Amino acid sequence: MAFSKYFPISMLALLCLSLFSVCVRADFYRDMTLTWGGPRAQILSGGSLLTLALDRGSGSGFQSKDEYLFGKIDMQIKLVPGNSAGTVTAYYLSSQGPTHDEIDFEFLGNLSGEPYILHTNVFAQGKGSKEQQFYLWFDPRADFHTYSILWNPLQIVFLVDGTPIRVFHNAESRGIPYPKNQPMRLYSSLWNADDWATRGGLVKIDWSKAPFTASYRGFAADACVANAGRSSCLNGPQKSWWAQSLDAGARLKMQWARKNYMIYNYCTDYKRFPQGFPPECSLEM
């Protein structure tokens, strides 16, 4: 959109407020800290691009400078191309300590031509084991795609390019722990997991293909920032996502994704839970 000299400044300011994520460019220098891996983690293109690399010496990682207590987090990621067997690209929210909360995306590499596996999990008060896994309906190595976490007091929604693939509901009324009190940072890492990541560890990393590189751009956090454990939304959040749930159209999209691309659900693993599934499974689609 081109603005003439007659376009009111007040209207331009209003437009910038309504399109905040567009007017304020993502800046990894401002938003993230490179935490490990030395030069394998890099911020490029004036702060608009971040890359992580893995070689024989080490993987690499970064974390957000802010902590969040509820929010909508988006990141565009292009995964390791080619033969990525044995590698894991992790992208997740987490608090610290033995009773930590955590919301996980993990991308399990595979041989060239084979699909990545998207592994999801939720930890509440230190307890996880809520794994669901999916194939993707596109090649995540060929281009950037948006992976989002919507975390509010009602539910956690995992989204891929805006399509919900999983919901974890707040069912504390049934005695099921839910992440709601511990601020979490965003983390991402690329690391060697060839003891389990690809076919249970049967396929190892081909180090002749190193370095392996994943790329990030388009970070956006419409979130309640926590300071000294207190949320910036404490005095009445004015956030569209605060009470957001899935409408009928979003539920249909999630049913499509789960029917066609889900490959593992702990809530249907009879061998693992012969005495009955965990109680939250009655709420899972």
Enzyme catalytic residues: 102, 106
For every residue of 60-105, which 3-state class applies, written as one string?
EEEEECCEEEEEEEEEEEECCCCCCCCEEEEEEEECCCCCCCEEEE
CA 41 – CA 212 distance, rounded (Å): 12
Give start and end residues of each alpha helix (H) in 157-234.
Answer: none
CA 29 – CA 38 distance, rounded (Å): 16
Would you give the distance in Å from CA 244 to the centre of its chain?
A: 18
Task: Tell me the sheet residues that pair with 225.
Answer: 68
Report helix, strand or coil for 154. Answer: coil
Check residue 281 and report its DSSP letter.
Answer: G
Q: What tokens were used for 58?
A: 């080490």
- Write the CA distances from 150 to 63, 115, 153, 195, 282, integer angstroms: 18, 25, 10, 31, 21
